[in-house]
Amino acid sequence: MAKTFFDDNLLLHSSAAAALYGRVKALPIVDYHSHLSEREIAEDKTFGTITEFWLKGDHYKWRAMRACGVEERLVTGNADDFEKFLAYAGIIPKLLGNPLYYWTHMELERIFGIKEPLNAATAPGIYRRANEKLKTLSVRKLLKLFGVEYIATTDDPVSPLSLHTVYDGVKVCPTFRPDRALKLDPEFLGELAAVWGKPVETLADFREALRSRLVYFKEHGCSIADISLEGAPELVGEREAAEIFARRESASPAEKSRFFSYGMALMGALCREFGIVWQIHIGALRNINAPAFRALGADTGFDVMHGVIDTDAIAAFLGALEERGELPKVILYALNPNAVPALCLVAGSFKDVRVGAAWWFNDTLKGIRAHFDALAEYSVFGNSLGMLTDSRSFSSYCRFDFFRRILCDYVGEKVEAGEYDAQCAEKLVYDICYRNPKQFMNL
């Protein structure tokens, strides 16, 4: 196929791929893991400039800008919006092969109708045209533009959930994220006591309070829980956990790590009890630049992948939950791609455990294709659960189109090579993009 810059056949390299993409390009979006704001959806937020819409809170873009030597004033600092946009536009030509290069131009076309490449020369005109278009857009109009059907936000157990409902046909549901609870955050424990209506003084109190909050989440449409696992889970007994909880304010980091493992097992049992799907995100090494973390806080672009993920420990942990009859449906995500083949095999040892999408730093052209290879060769490709945003930006829904194009090209390549049945291919890509996630998560 002849190609022009970001034409309709972007990332599609065969007629079979193009035909498959035609089947899935307009499917509704089921975004079962995001960090979007339900308040911004409820308020139907609007944006004054493309900088506010695009760059505010986007650590992908911030990391790239810093890597290109852009001073922090133009990244998260007090420079004006036009200056920040010019700074971002100026680095774009350097990002050959980077997912940001794809996402940036896909978003410009889909949202703003702008088809020219972004660079320092085109930036002023694109800034003006995009800002004009933003006057006609809002969060809910963007969700309609992308065909979003379902959004799972990420929510602290003490969240009120008063804004989770249906907005213009889009179902917005909470996800139970107990990380602060399992880390014995003293501020959180006070908030938990307040919403539970009783003191949280013992491990039994802690368990019952968490359970009551999960019931509350379930009543508000929650089907999914989520946790970030940074180390290796261990099996920790009730007595040890109770002792650590009793002296939680003076507990050592090692003891708190063991309590986190206890809490992991507790969450598994609760998710099994209430039919909640449990997403486990494994292997993020957080805030490695200490001065930047002190200055800017968490989630600002200073997290990386752990060099090694202990898949043996994860296998043992899931096996122990299964032995107890407390293993829920589980989706495993590995930030280090070297762990994905082993996790595929671990998942295949249990009926309702899956490996999720290529996560975070792996959400790239090559990363997604490598992830497909691992799923196909070590697991069951047709059981794949599609795509999610894992994002705080409403423009990120272009990532679903990015994923669908890569998926269709991958499957189309097998069809063109005579390695896969053409008649099955259409159902395969449909299931991966839409049916599988809805079915697995009971949506």
Residue 412, pLDDT above cutoff 90: yes
Alpha helices in 275-306 (DSSP H): 290-296
- Sole residue written with tokens 């997403």: 279
CA pair distance 406, 364, nearest whole angstrom: 10
Over residues 41-66, the pLDDT tens digits come to: 999 999 999 999 999 989 999 999 99
Residue 2 has a pLDDT of 60
pLDDT band at 99 (very low <50, low <70, confident <90, very high): very high
- The per-residue pLDDT for range 83-94, each reduced to its tens digit, is 999 999 999 999
262, 236, 237: which is closest to 184 by C-alpha?
Answer: 262
Which pLDDT belongs to residue 231?
Answer: 85
Residue 121 CB coordination number (10 Å) = 12
Share of the chain above pLDDT 70, in %: 100
Chain segment 279-291, per-residue pLDDT in tens? 999 999 999 999 9
> Using CA atoms in the order 26, 32, 33, 35, what is the torsion angle rounded to 10 degrees?
80
Give the dihedral sign, CA 151/155/157/161: negative
Residues 349-375 as b or e (16 or more Cβ within 10 Å = b): ebeebbbbbbbbbbbbbebbeebbebb
Any idea of the CA torsion for 230, 185, 258, 205, to the nearest 10 degrees?
A: -130
pLDDT class of 442 with cuts at 50, 70, 90:
very high
pLDDT bin (cut points 50, 70, 90) of residue 343 is very high
Asked whether the beta carbons of 258 and 334 are under 8 A apart, the reply is no
Q: Which long-range contacts (CB under 8 A, 24 or more apart) does 191-197 make?
A: 191/158, 192/157, 192/158, 194/158, 195/158
How much is the pLDDT for 230?
Answer: 86
Q: Give residue 11's pLDDT.
A: 98
| Residue of 298, 282, 37, 45 whose CA lies nearest to 155 | 37
Can you list the domains of the chain with their CATH numbers?
A: 15-45+139-440 (3.20.20.140), 46-137 (1.10.2020.10)
Asked whether residue 1 carries a pLDDT value surpassing 80, the answer given is: no
pLDDT at 178 over 70: yes
- Average pLDDT score over residue span 165-177: 98
CA distance 44 to 194: 30
Please compute the mean of the pLDDT values over residues 245-272 and round it to a whole number: 96
The mean predicted confidence, pLDDT, of the chain is 97
* pLDDT for the residue 3: 82
